[in-house]
């Protein structure tokens, strides 16, 4: 529970060092971060997230304000806000940014029954980093079990269920695209078959082969445009179902809609071109006798 005067509320609690924010790439928005002078003998300080700053100090400068946060470690000494940092989605990519109070590890210890997490950032290979770090921990505390994990592993585990759902969506989308192409091909091919005599007459009276090509492909293009228009309208109606699976991309992203429309249009034209090529090769004499 965090409170300022009569204001009460809830926030996450994070014990951090001065390098924590730089390691994770959390940007400083206002004020300053922890420094060497913020030791155990100095007044206790805190850095808060933008979300918490908006919630608690909407019309005031949060820097210099005091908070009391003692339900995690029992320490009720007030915390002076010295900085505001960018929001992070600590509870998951599908959840809104968290309200977080960061305290200096030299001033406020870890809560009961919790284990510290040490973050390392390097351009060296992961195996090399883990080997060196394991040796350091072995020398410092050989009896303390240490678990190593990369951010990719942590995020991969959290995203695995959503990745599987998106894979299923992709498989069904590919199957739908294949069925759409087969359907367009079948419709256009059937139309060409029914219009064999008409096409033969057109060729007999002087129509060029390219005219026949434009006729057949044009019919397929009209079907494709109608289908794309209906599909876009239907997809806009079901975007809310997919929005929970997307992060950093809007369900109504115009670039995605345009790319999919162009892809479906290209597939439709290709499916129309094959029967159109066959229609171009019709012998007028045989076509006129066709029943």
Paired tokens of 43? 């007044």
Query: What pLDDT, on the 0 to 100 scale, is given for residue 32?
Result: 93
Backbone angles phi, psi at 176, to 5 degrees: -65, -40
More confident residue, 242 or 210: 210
pLDDT, tens digit (0-9, with 9 covering 90-100), for 218-270: 877 787 788 788 878 887 777 766 666 666 666 677 787 788 788 777 877 77
Which of 3-17, 103-117, 173-187, 202-216 has the largest mean confidence? 173-187
Taking alpha carbons only, the member of 103, 99, 8 closest to residue 54 is 99
pLDDT, tens digit (0-9, with 9 covering 90-100), for 35-94: 889 888 899 999 999 999 988 888 888 998 888 876 556 677 888 999 999 998 877 666
At 102, is the secondary structure helix, strand, or coil?
Answer: strand
Q: Which of 101-110, 144-153, 188-197, 225-234 has the lowest mean pLDDT?
A: 188-197
Please name the helix (run of DSSP H) or strand (run of DSSP E) that holds residue 178, with its range, or none: helix 151-194
Taking alpha carbons only, the member of 66, 92, 71 closest to residue 4 is 66
Compute the distance between CA of residue 165 and CA of residue 159 in angstroms, rounded to an integer.
10
pLDDT surpasses 70 at 273: yes
Number of C-beta neighbours around residue 24 at 10 A: 14
Query: What pLDDT, on the 0 to 100 scale, is given for residue 6?
Result: 42
Paired tokens of 212? 């026949």
Asked if 249 contacts 256 with a C-beta cutoff of 8 angstroms, the reply is: yes
Query: What pLDDT, on the 0 to 100 scale, is given for residue 95?
Result: 75
pLDDT surpasses 60 at 5: no
Which of 45-59, 98-112, 129-143, 241-255 has the largest mean confidence? 45-59
Query: What pLDDT, on the 0 to 100 scale, is given for residue 249?
Result: 64
Number of C-beta neighbours around residue 226 at 10 A: 10
- Residue 34 — pLDDT band, cuts 50, 70, 90? very high
267 by Cβ neighbours in 10 Å (0-12 / 13-18 / 19+) ranks as middle
- Residue 185 — pLDDT band, cuts 50, 70, 90? confident
Asked if 33 contacts 86 with a C-beta cutoff of 8 angstroms, the reply is: no
Q: What is the mean pLDDT of the chain?
A: 78
Taking alpha carbons only, the member of 203, 208, 216 closest to residue 282 is 203
pLDDT surpasses 60 at 114: yes
Query: What pLDDT, on the 0 to 100 scale, is given for residue 78?
Result: 86
Strand pairing report for 12-16 and 100-104: parallel
Query: What pLDDT, on the 0 to 100 scale, is given for residue 50?
Result: 92
Paired tokens of 72? 């995690």
Compute the distance between CA of residue 105 and CA of residue 44 in angstroms, rounded to an integer.
10
DSSP string covering 2-55: EEETTEEE--EEEEE-TTHHHHHTPPEEEE----TT-STTSPPEEEEEHHHHHH
Taking alpha carbons only, the member of 270, 258, 288 closest to residue 181 is 270
Taking alpha carbons only, the member of 154, 147, 123, 143 closest to residue 133 is 147
Paired tokens of 71? 């339900």
At 85, is the secondary structure helix, strand, or coil?
Answer: strand
Query: What pLDDT, on the 0 to 100 scale, is given for residue 220?
Result: 76
More confident residue, 25 or 110: 25
Asked if 87 contacts 26 with a C-beta cutoff of 8 angstroms, the reply is: no
- Residue 8 — pLDDT band, cuts 50, 70, 90? low
Locate tokens 């990719």: which residue? 152
Query: What pLDDT, on the 0 to 100 scale, is given for residue 4?
Result: 45
């Amino acid at each position: 529970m965090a409170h300022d005067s009569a204001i009460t509320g809830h926030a996450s609690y994070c014990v951090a060092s001065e390098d924590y924010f730089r390691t994770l790439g959390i940007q400083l928005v206002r004020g300053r971060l922890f420094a060497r002078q913020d030791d155990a003998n100095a007044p206790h300080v805190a850095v808060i997230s933008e979300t918490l700053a908006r919630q608690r100090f909407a019309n005031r400068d949060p820097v210099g304000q005091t908070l009391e946060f003692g339900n995690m470690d029992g320490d009720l000494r007030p915390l002076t806000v010295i900085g505001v940092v960018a929001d992070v989605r600590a509870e998951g990519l599908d959840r809104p940014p968290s309200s977080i109070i960061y305290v200096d590890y030299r001033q406020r210890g870890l809560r009961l029954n919790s284990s510290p997490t040490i973050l390392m950032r390097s351009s060296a290979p992961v195996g090399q980093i883990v080997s060196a770090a394991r040796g350091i921990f072995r020398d410092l505390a050989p009896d303390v079990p240490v678990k190593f994990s990369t951010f990719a592993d942590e995020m991969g585990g959290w995203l695995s269920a959503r990745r599987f759902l998106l894979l299923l969506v992709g498989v069904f989308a590919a199957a739908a695209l294949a069925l759409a192409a087969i359907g367009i091909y079948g419709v256009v091919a059937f139309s060409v078959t029914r219009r064999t005599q008409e096409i033969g007459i057109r060729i007999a009276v002087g129509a060029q082969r390219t005219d026949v090509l434009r006729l057949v492909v044009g019919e397929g293009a009209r079907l494709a445009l109608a289908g794309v228009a209906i599909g876009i309208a239907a997809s806009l109606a079901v975007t809310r179902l997919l929005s929970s699976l997307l992060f950093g991309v809007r369900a109504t992203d115009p670039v995605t809609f345009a790319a999919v429309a162009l892809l479906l249009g290209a597939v439709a034209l290709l499916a129309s071109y094959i029967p159109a090529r066959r229609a171009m090769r019709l012998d007028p004499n045989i076509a006129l006798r066709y029943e």
